[in-house]
Amino acid sequence: MQLARVVGSLVSTRKSDKLHGMKILVAVPVDMDTFEEKGAPFVTIDAIGAGEGEVVMCVGGSSSRQTEMTEGKPVDNTIVAIIDSVDVLGRRLFDKAGDMRQEAEKPEPQVREEEVVMVEEATVEAHEIPQITEVAETIVVEKPEAVAERDNSFERVRESRRERSKKKNK
């Protein structure tokens, strides 16, 4: 078993039928003394409903297939617990409540106008927005006139793609 912090998620649209419906997360091992991240990120199946930023207990190998959700599935690592606290020799090393307060106190990314980024279509769930802004490091604010210009460009691109698709499907 190992303790790790959930740092992200993984989405796969094509996968083994046995993995359909399973939530796949990315986690990084944590040092038991400092609870700082250490080591390489790894992929794990979430068997209990963990979220980004939480410290979790993971099991690997054949143990990862011992939960109801993972039995008989092609998995090699599974989250089996969300850690609330860790005490060693009478000393509290980790407390989830204190850890979550520290996460909440992190400064928000600064917003600055840089450029208009064209995105044709995207579906983003509400819980993914903080992850996206952290990865992007900047948030783009569009001017109204740029939006109108961009919409015309998108329509031309969409029409061109529709035409190519029609020709390809004939």
For 118-129, the pLDDT digits (tens) are 444 455 555 555
Dihedral sign of CA atoms 135, 6, 72, 21 in order: negative
Domain co-membership, 6 together with 85? yes
Q: How confident is the model at residue 102 (pLDDT cuts 50, 70, 90)?
A: low
Last-in-domain residue among 104, 139, 158: 104
pLDDT at 105: 55
| Domain harbouring 11, CATH code | 2.40.50.220
For residue 100, give the 3-state DSSP assignment: helix
pLDDT tens profile 25-70: 999 999 988 888 999 999 999 999 999 999 999 999 999 998 888 9
| 12/142: higher pLDDT | 12
Residue 151 · residue 121 · CB < 8 Å: no
How far apart CA 155 and CA 1 sit, in angstroms, is 52
Residue position matching structure tokens 């990120």: 41
What's the structural domain count of the chain?
A: 2
Report whether pLDDT(146) > 80: no
Question: What confidence tier does 98 reach under pLDDT thresholds 50, 70, 90?
Answer: confident
| Residue 114 and residue 61 share a domain | no
What pLDDT, on the 0 to 100 scale, is given for residue 134? 45
pLDDT at residue 111 tops 50: no
54, 38 contact by CB (below 8 A):
no
Tens of pLDDT, residues 64-97: 998 888 988 999 999 999 999 999 898 888 988 8
First to last CA, the chain: 55
How many CB atoms are closer than 10 A to CB 4?
26
pLDDT reported for residue 35 = 87
Choose the final residue of a domain: 50, 73, 104. Answer: 104
**pLDDT computed for residue 170 by the predictor:** 63
Average pLDDT in the chain: 76
> Which has more confidence, 43 or 160?
43
- The reported pLDDT for the residue numbered 132 is 47
Give the number of C-alpha atoms closer than 13 A to the C-alpha of residue 20, restricted to the C-beta side: 4
- What is d(CA 44, CA 24) in angstroms, rounded to the nearest whole number? 6
- pLDDT at residue 32, rounded to an integer: 86
Same domain, 11 and 92: yes
Q: Are residues 26 and 89 in the same domain?
A: yes
Range of the domain at 47: 2-104
